[in-house]
């Protein structure tokens, strides 16, 4: 049992490292440039009110509409 | 401590430190992301943000120090379990918005892959906790623990 436990550690570490690296690639499990579905973080009525194509912020060089707007 | 155990502790520490610093640098974005969580009651997101960041930073530092490693690893496991539940509930019932992590790299979402990643981190935290707990209770190598009672002592 102890051996099995020890053997799973490197596998767990490898998988965690791999998923972390893959998750950092844009568009894999995260927002891709131009993905306007990830826009407003807030109540629906607020998000509808700020649904304006001119409102956007740039995050890491990409434009995300109304993402970090003060609520 | 074996190399793989050291690697696990270092990896977890870097994840927590990076995550905590990342949230400090994108504080408003993190608060907004918290607002999108189903389990976070409306209006309370700003009150959750600071404690979450503080716990992440403390766990990151605590994992690097031998004296606090076991407690930090256990806290990491509990925190990751809570994050996993929050992301899972959001994934099932929420808007599937931004998870509030890794702002510096990208805008990560609470996807199934993110859940799997959290579960792997949770597994690593539990192994780190188990190892640091065992190494704290185990006697130093070479120390004799099987002490026999003296012959002819008090009876």
Of B5, B11, B36, the CB nearest to A41: B36
Q: Do A71 and B127 touch (CB under 8 A)?
A: no
What integer is the mean pLDDT of B129-143?
A: 70
User: The complex's ipTM?
Assistant: 0.74
Answer yes or no: are the C-beta atoms of A49 and A39 closer than 8 Å. no
List, as ranges, residues 7-26 from B with C-beta within 8 Å of A: 7-8, 11, 15, 26
B93 Cβ partners below 8 Å, 6+ apart?
B38
User: B103 — contact with chain A (CB < 8 Å)?
Assistant: yes
Kindly list the residues from chain B whose CB atom is less than 8 angstroms away from the CB atom of residue A23. 102, 108, 113-114, 117
In chain A, what residues touch B4 (CB-CB under 8 Å)?
Answer: 9-10, 13
Q: What is the pLDDT of residues B21-67, one digit of tens each?
A: 988 888 877 887 787 788 888 788 888 899 999 999 999 999 999 99
Distance CA B90, CA B44 (A): 16
Whole-number pLDDT of residue B93:
81
């Amino acid at each position: 049992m102890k051996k099995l436990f020890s053997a799973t550690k490197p596998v767990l570490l490898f998988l965690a490292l791999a998923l972390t690296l893959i998750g950092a690639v844009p568009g894999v499990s995260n927002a891709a440039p131009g993905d306007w579905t990830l826009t407003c973080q807030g109540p629906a009525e607020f998000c509808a009110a700020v649904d304006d194509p001119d409102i956007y912020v740039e995050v890491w060089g990409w434009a995300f509409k109304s993402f970090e707007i003060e609520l | 401590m074996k190399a793989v155990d050291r690697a696990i502790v270092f990896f977890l520490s870097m994840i927590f430190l990076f995550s905590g610093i990342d949230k400090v640098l994108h504080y408003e974005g993190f608060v907004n992301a918290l607002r999108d969580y189903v389990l976070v009651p409306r209006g309370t997101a700003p009150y959750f943000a600071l404690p979450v960041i503080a716990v992440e930073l403390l766990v990151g530092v605590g994992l690097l120090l031998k004296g606090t490693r076991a407690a930090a690893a256990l806290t990491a496991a509990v925190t990751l379990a809570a994050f996993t539940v929050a992301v899972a509930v959001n994934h099932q019932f929420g808007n599937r918005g931004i998870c509030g992590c890794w702002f510096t790299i990208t805008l990560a979402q609470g996807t199934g892959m993110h859940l799997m990643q959290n579960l792997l981190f949770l597994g690593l935290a539990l192994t780190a906790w188990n190892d640091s707990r065992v190494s704290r209770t185990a006697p130093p190598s070479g120390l004799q623990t099987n002490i026999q009672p003296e012959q002819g002592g008090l009876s």
